[in-house]
Amino acid sequence: MTVTPRASLNPRPHRTRLQTFLRVALVVFLLLVGSLGVLIGWLQSDSGRRYLARRIESTVSKEIRGTLHIGAISALTWRGVSGRDVRFTAPGGGDVIVIENVDLTVRWLPLLRGRLVSPRARVKGARVVLREGRYGELTIDTTM
């Protein structure tokens, strides 16, 4: 009587490298899609919109001499953001531009890199405050 090893009765097929790569790639792709979905869902929440507002404020404030303050982001879409109570403040204090509502088209990839690029904006209820600074210059000049 001959004894046959068990492994030969149930041979296990060997995966090719391509099959293994495709399985790993599929898992990575599903994780990325899931993470993107969670990120988009979070950005639609109040805390996500507050985070985005602070990120935009920081990005713009680095590019000007004054400061940008966003009261709230009211809507977030693939096209851009809508905000309310937007204020540009002079370096020494005091509002220079006050905007009730703004719809801003945003290029998202540059914003992720720390640069706000907006090819189009629509503003409702804006006010520009022209004041003389300490040395006789307009505060809008020293802010922007």
Mean pLDDT in consecutive groups of 10 residues from the start of the chain, 144 residues: 57 74 90 85 82 86 88 87 90 86 88 82 88 73 68
* Phi, psi (rounded to 5 degrees) for 52: -65, -40
| pTM for the model | 0.67
- C-beta atoms surrounding 76 within 10 Å: 18
- C-beta atoms surrounding 139 within 10 Å: 23
